[in-house]
Structure 1
Amino acid sequence: MRGGCAIGSSTIPNADHLPLYRLAQIYSRQGVVLDRFTLADWVGRAAFELRLVHDALTADLKQSTKLFMDETHAPVLDPGARRTKTGYFWALARDDRPWGGTVPPGVVFTYAPGRGVQYAERILQGFGGILQIDGYAGYNRLIAPGRIGPDIQLAHCWAHARRKLIEITRTGPAPIAEEGVTLIRDLYAIEAEIRGSTSATRLAARQERSAPILASLDHWLQYNWTCPGSVPVMWSGIFASSEIARIHFPSVESPTPRSDAT
């Protein structure tokens, strides 16, 4: 009985985002009286025993040549403060199935009290390869000159670059932003078509079909950034929020908009 309840008290709060006091109420309706402090003790003991599994999974993932990383905030009890504080779960994931990889997928979550990139560095210690991330500028520390450790190459997310353009198109007529969205959509279509193919097939398709689209995107950025009639606020928002130029086109800087642009 205790073992089954302990497993449930550890799984349900995390899988279903159910607080322990509600779990205690559910047990109570079934005639099982369990104090939430007892449940909390079981969860803590289970977490302690699972540390070896967490460490082993983390080590296995870091043997990969490419990983995904992201962080999300979560409310954490702050004893004595009568409120919660903000903590973060850092996710490190691998999923090679979309391109025919044979390594099993996996994800590990590590709690940290903040979003500082020092926590990412600690989690990634020993990893070398491609790390896919969002536009959070803090990750740049992972590729800073003089950094000690295996080399990491950052691969930024197209969805984050596209999102700011989508937001602009929803505010009214925005032909420049719509053109950018269309070009990115064309890239998405190619990726959907070649997903699951061999690496050689994907490389050939990207060189033949995607490279010209990327060249068009590069031209679109450089031309529209400085052309008369562009809106400085729009471009500063794109560069600051989605960082399209810095992420995908290092040749495009973020200069002060032209004084004749409106």
Structure 2
Amino acid sequence: MLRMPGELATSIDPKSLPAQVVALIGRLQQQAQVHAQELARRDREIAWAHVKIDKLNFEVARLRRWKFDAKTEAMTASQRLLFAETMIEDEASLRAKLAEMQAGLPQVPKTPKALRAKPRRQALPEHLERVEHRHEPEDTHCPNTDCGRPMQRIGEDVSEKLDIVPARFFVHRHIYGKWACKCCQQLRQEPAEPDVVDGGIPAAGLVAHTLISRFVDHLRYYRQEPINARSGVHTPRSTLATWGGAGGAALEPLYELHRRFILSCRVLHADETPLPLLDPGAGKTKKAYVWAWARSHHDPHPGVVYEFCLGRGSQYPVAFLGGKGPPAHEPAWNGTLITDQYAAYNAVLDAKIYPQRKSAACAAHARRRFEELSRGGDSASAVATEALRRWARIYHAEAAFAEMGHDERRQARQSVSKPLWDELEVWLKLQRTQVLDGTKIAEAIDYSLNAWGQLTLHLDDGAVALDNNLIERQIKPWKLGAKNWLFAGSALAGQRAAVVMSLVQSAKLNGLDPWAYLRDVLARIHSHPSHRLEELLPHRWRPA
């Protein structure tokens, strides 16, 4: 009977072999052990190298998209999913729990899709002036030579063409009559109306137009100058800058009241964005920041306020939310703050210092990390794609609660959204056991799990929004403006821009025409009683 080599080796007594053979066998065994250890080490290095290569491929693909593809937050991820050894017991437990939760999951209310309407031209607004042009035949007799009788008008066809007249300048002539008593030598005359620019030529409407052109249409003063010149009005850029400065200064008292109104809401959205600031001494620009604070997305009186700051440190939100002392005493703000988890907000949300404040995280930021990994075609992450499907169910449910009150929304979230969030948490924990540390998909999962308490805070408070998209939309005008302004000329100019844009953007949030609002406010603010100045805030304003 033949024996295998291994069996033969085990049947030989090493003591019966010569000493040289035993020594040779020992050396070979040691070499085999060293080779095995070396192979294991190389396998670990190769596995780690694959992880690093995938991370680099992801970054290279994203840079290529930034350079060549359409500009969008969601970029294709050139990364394949790497699976580690599964933890069998944990996986079985999590899968069983996930299956149990899915079985008892309530149905998300489905909104019936409206039938897709055929594209058609919208009717022109009714409030526009109509200039009629009549078109009738020169001869209204029957063209038939055998008839020639007069024809009767049986109807008409009407077509409308939209036209425009460029900005039309006109002059207000204020005539102040003088009345004198010849007997008493008394003179009476109405006092001059207060102007936005003391002793200047612009009326409130022109100052408002200048500010709207700069801060809403993002036209720099040197571009406004030739536009006005086409109407035969000479307005040097230095003059326009003077008008803009005077208009911003006139609005500062209203801005302070508006800031207090924003802080009166117990749920706030917060975000910040860089803005180049001219540094004359260095001959270049430096980075400043605009901090944005908005009332809750679900608040019936929307509003946003901006603050221009020289940095991005925690001292700025601490000062903004910290209240003020005498003479204008203002208590520190308390409530729920919705942020993107930037570290600077930790100082204002420290539970030991501010026990009445709560932190809520933005679900859109968590979702966006998976979206980046789901747009790679064949190389897209399967986990990220499935995560997006689960996020879509959560957002679909939230959309059904949009018109509800705070209490009703909280109850709906508890019955419909909470099971979806619980299922997502279990699923994320399960997937985390199957991906290698250091991969992009692992980072996306960790981001959500590490902020789970803040992400789900809205389930217990109907006034808290699901994400921070509201404040991100209010940041976009600054990004558009920076592309045209290039930089803020000074810290004072930056704060003046924050004053104007706070009121203008809040007016837009309340459905107002920003020019009509600003024109009326600038015309009234100097003569309006100071104790009733709140009547000019965007959410309370009524035209004079």
Pick the TM interval, shorter chain. 0.7 to 0.9
- Of the three residues 273, 277, 283, the one matched with 1:76 is 277
Q: 1:82 to 1:37 in 2, by over 3 A?
A: farther
Name the counterpart of 1:138: 344
Query: What SS is found at the alignment partner of 2:278?
Result: strand
CA contact under 8 A between 2:265 and 2:296: conserved in structure 1? no
2:381 is aligned with 1:179: no
Task: Compute the displacement of 1:166 (Å).
Answer: 0.3
Task: Compute the displacement of 1:169 (Å).
Answer: 0.8
Q: Distance in 2 between matches of 1:80 and 1:5?
A: 35
Name the counterpart of 1:254: none
Q: 1:8 to 1:150 in 2, by over 3 A?
A: farther
CA contact under 8 A between 2:370 and 2:441: conserved in structure 1? no
CA contact under 8 A between 2:366 and 2:448: conserved in structure 1? yes
Q: 1:153 to 1:67 in 2, by over 3 A?
A: same
Task: Give the TM-score normalised by structure 1.
Answer: 0.83
2:32 is aligned with 1:32: no
1:226-245 superposed matches below 5 A = 226-227=433-434, 229-230=435-436, 232-238=438-444, 243-245=447-449
Task: Compute the displacement of 1:71 (Å).
Answer: 1.2
Q: Distance in 1 between matches of 2:246 and 2:442?
A: 50
Name the counterpart of 1:6: 207
Name the counterpart of 1:197: 404
CA contact under 8 A between 1:75 and 1:85: conserved in structure 2? yes
Q: Distance in 2 between matches of 1:80 and 1:23?
A: 28
Query: What SS is found at the alignment partner of 1:75?
Result: strand
Name the counterpart of 1:124: 321
Name the counterpart of 2:415: 208
Name the counterpart of 1:114: 311
Structure in which a larger fraction of residues adopt strand: 1
Alignment RMSD (CA, Å):
2.3
CA contact under 8 A between 1:143 and 1:151: conserved in structure 2? no
Which region of structure 1 is more displaced relative to structure 2, 209-218 or 87-96? 87-96
Query: What SS is found at the alignment partner of 2:385?
Result: helix
Task: Compute the displacement of 1:42 (Å).
Answer: 2.2
Query: Structure 1 vs Structure 2: percent identity of aligned residues?
Result: 31
1:139-154 superposed matches below 5 A = 139-147=345-353, 151-154=356-359
Name the counterpart of 2:76: none
2:424 is aligned with 1:217: yes
Task: Compute the displacement of 1:9 (Å).
Answer: 2.3
2:239 is aligned with 1:41: no
Q: Distance in 1 between matches of 2:453 and 2:333?
A: 26
Task: Give the AA of the match of 2:421.
Answer: L
* Structure having greater relative contact order (Cα 8 Å, sep ≥ 6): 2
Name the counterpart of 1:159: 364
2:255 is aligned with 1:54: yes
CA shift digits 1:174-201 (9 cap, x unpaired): 1211222122111101111121113333
Query: What SS is found at the alignment partner of 2:358?
Result: strand
The size of the alignment, in residue pairs, is: 242
CA shift digits 1:193-224 (9 cap, x unpaired): 12111333322222122122111121122222
Task: Compute the displacement of 1:231 (Å).
Answer: 6.0
Query: What SS is found at the alignment partner of 2:360?
Result: strand
Q: Distance in 2 between matches of 1:74 and 1:212?
A: 42
Q: Distance in 2 between matches of 1:88 and 1:184?
A: 32
Task: Give the AA of the match of 2:387.
Answer: G
Q: Distance in 1 between matches of 2:394 and 2:210?
A: 45
Name the counterpart of 1:255: none
1:89-108 superposed matches below 5 A = 89-96=290-297, 98=298, 101=299, 103-108=300-305
Task: Give the AA of the match of 2:316.
Answer: Y
Unmatched 5+ residue regions in structure 1? 251-262
Q: Distance in 1 between matches of 2:276 and 2:445?
A: 30
Q: 1:249 to 1:68 in 2, by over 3 A?
A: closer
Q: Distance in 1 between matches of 2:285 and 2:449?
A: 38
Task: Give the TM-score normalised by structure 2.
Answer: 0.42
CA shift digits 1:26-62 (9 cap, x unpaired): 2223222222222222222222221111110110111
Structure in which a larger fraction of residues adopt helix: 1
Name the counterpart of 1:256: none
Q: Distance in 2 between matches of 1:234 and 1:169?
A: 11
**Higher radius of gyration, 1 or 2:** 2
Q: Distance in 2 between matches of 1:20 and 1:174?
A: 49
